[in-house]
Amino acid sequence: MRAKLSIGLVAALLGLSTAALAQSLAAPTYTTAQARRGEAVYMAQCAACHGDQLDNGQFAAPLVGPAFEAHWGAGGLDGPFEVMTTQMPPTNPGALPAATYADLLAFVLDRNGLPAGDKELPADPERLKTMAAPH
Ligand code: HEC
């Protein structure tokens, strides 16, 4: 009983600090054209594992929805960008140009329901760090 209560408390506190940190980060920018470019690469290179709906892959973690938000939502976009650029696709990690990884991340943001704008998502981890991951 006591253990359960304190786990609940820790979860509540984590939730609070997550929300506070996410608020201090800017909303990401990306364009619809960029997300469309990312979609084409995604369907060719990523969908086989992550699924064409981004959460229906048999072989990989979901890139939309609660699990993705729980994993990255407390921080900036540099986290998922780093996984992409250093580990994806697993058969050829880091093989794509940095701008293509930014296009892929723009597509992921689009599918997570974030609004597109008139500035592209940058491929620079330092700038991505200042932009909030979907949360
Ligand atoms: C061969 C199957 C496979 C392919 C193809 C693949 N991935 Fe992955 N991906 C994985 C697996 C497995 C994980 C989980 C890795 C882990 O947790 O250590 C993962 C994790 C990720 C994550 C982190 C998700 C999270 O919340 O932890 C991202 C982002 C990602 N992949 C993006 C991509 C992108 C973009 C592509 C296409 C360029 C791609 N992946 C292609 C198997 C794949």
Q: 108-133, pLDDT tens digit by residue?
A: 999 999 999 999 999 999 999 999 99
For ligand 1, whether the C-beta of 59 sits within 6 Å is yes
For ligand 1, whether the C-beta of 101 sits within 6 Å is no
Instruction: Confirm whether 135 is domain-assigned.
Output: no
Instruction: Using the atom order of ligand 1, give the atom closest to the CA of residue 45.
Output: 37
Three-state SS letters, the chain: CHHHHHHHHHHHHHHHHHHHHHHHCECCCCCHHHHHHHHHHHHHHCHHHHCCCCCCCCCCCCCCCHHHHHHHCCCECHHHHHHHHHHCCCCCCCCCCHHHHHHHHHHHHHHCCCCCCCCCCCCCHHHHCCEECCC
Domain count for the chain: 1
Question: Is the predicted pLDDT of residue 77 greater than 90, yes or no?
Answer: yes
pLDDT single digits (tens) 16-49: 555 555 558 999 999 999 999 999 999 999 999 9
CATH number at 29 reads: 1.10.760
Instruction: Confirm whether 104 is domain-assigned.
Output: yes
Domain region containing 108: 2-128
For ligand 1, whether the C-beta of 71 sits within 6 Å is yes
Instruction: Confirm whether 83 is domain-assigned.
Output: yes
